[in-house]
């Protein structure tokens, strides 16, 4: 996991970003736009997460992953609103929700000590299936 977190986050922090099944690219510009919605983050905190001094900083990478997961969980009502006026924002939020599911499935088995072995296995299985689906689509 330690080698994986900075790799995913390095992609997210770049302009190239990560493309998901719906064709949206999640990169530092997109994340800057949306992570500011979280009450716990201001522009300085987001800049530190998305543009760290050391790209291999694992605690920063984990913090970025947790921020994306928290953001996605906080936006469920907008994601599920089929009649939202801003379609682009809804599609962006759905992309971030997909990414959040991927990040949560690789992060939680290694950080949540309350999970049973079965729950850890299920999350890691979910991670492998999601990564295969994203890889296969592109």
- Note down the domain range covering 67: 4-137
The tokens describing 67, both together, are 């921020």
Q: Which of 4, 57, 65, 76 is nearest to 35 (CA)?
A: 65
Identify the pLDDT of residue 5: 47
Write down the pTM of the prediction.
0.84
Query: Measured in whole angstroms, how far is the alpha carbon of residue 48 from the centre of its chain?
Result: 16
Specify the number of domains making up the chain: 1
The radius of gyration of the chain from alpha carbons, rounded to an integer in Å, stands at 15
C-alpha angle 36-97-79 in degrees, rounded to nearest 5: 85
Identify the pLDDT of residue 78: 63
**Element (H or E) spanning 25, and its range?**
strand 25-26
Per-block average pLDDT, block size 10, for the chain (138 residues)? 58 83 84 91 90 84 92 76 70 89 93 95 94 79
């Amino acid at each position: 996991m330690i080698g994986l977190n900075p790799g995913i986050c390095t992609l997210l922090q770049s302009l190239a970003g990560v493309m998901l099944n719906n064709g949206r690219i999640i990169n530092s510009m997109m994340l800057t736009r949306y992570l500011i919605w979280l009450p716990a983050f201001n522009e300085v905190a987001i800049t530190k997460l998305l543009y760290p001094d050391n790209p291999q900083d694992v605690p920063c990478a984990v913090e970025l992953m947790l921020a994306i997961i928290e953001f996605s969980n906080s936006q469920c009502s907008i994601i599920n609103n089929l009649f939202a006026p801003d379609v682009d924002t809804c599609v962006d939020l759905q992309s971030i929700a997909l990414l959040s599911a991927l990040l949560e499935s690789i992060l939680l088995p290694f950080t949540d000590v309350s999970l049973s072995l079965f729950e850890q296995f299920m999350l890691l299985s979910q991670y492998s299936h999601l990564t295969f689906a994203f890889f296969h689509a592109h």
